[in-house]
Amino acid sequence: MEPRYIDHYNGSVTDTSTGLMWQEKYSYSENGRYLNWWEAEKYIADLNRNKLAGHCDWRLPNRLEIQSIYEMNRSFESRGRTYKLHMDPVFEFSYGSCYWTNHRRLSAALGFEFDNGEIYWYPTGSLSGSARGVRLNMSPFILLDRFHRF
């Protein structure tokens, strides 16, 4: 069986199930703090300016994309402790379970929580989440097909 994630050892990871390329690290591990949505957008712009993994088309994920890397059957182990953060260990993770998405309405944006699998609207100015870049496009039908097989 082919592994789901391919680590390119250049700061990026490809999900073979969806074809999406993800940033291996994320903003909290690099900055040591949560970001508001506007800072998350700037963080992604910086990934593009610095051409992470040789690419300049990184963006915040949409709702389905961020949910596609949530894995209910996984917990995250770090420094001898087990956390209920349902993500493959190929992704760097240290603290902060909420990730911003690109969905925004008026003064709120969606954040996805990896500890409980829930999605919430947060004020765009609140220091509520982290940012992890994604690139390429995913068809929602890929997810439907993937989960239909089970």
Burial class (CB in 10 A: 0-12, 13-18, 19+), 74: middle
pTM for this predicted structure: 0.84
Q: Tokens 């996984």 — which residue?
A: 74
Nearest to 77 by CA among 87, 64, 65, 62: 87
Determine the pLDDT at residue 47: 97
Domain ranges in the chain?
A: 5-148
Q: Which residues contact residue 123 at a Cβ distance below 8 angstroms, ignoring those fewer than 6 apart?
A: 107, 108
CATH of the structural domain 5-148, one choice from 2.40.50, 1.10.10, 3.10.100, 3.40.50: 3.10.100
Determine the pLDDT at residue 90: 83
Residues 40, 129 contacting (CB under 8 angstroms):
yes
Q: How far apart are CA 97 and CA 34, in angstroms?
A: 10
Determine the pLDDT at residue 149: 52
Q: Per-residue confidence of the chain (150 residues) as pLDDT tens digits?
A: 688 999 999 999 999 989 999 999 999 888 889 999 999 999 999 999 999 999 999 999 999 999 999 887 766 555 566 556 677 778 876 666 789 999 999 999 999 988 778 899 999 999 989 999 999 977 666 655 555 554
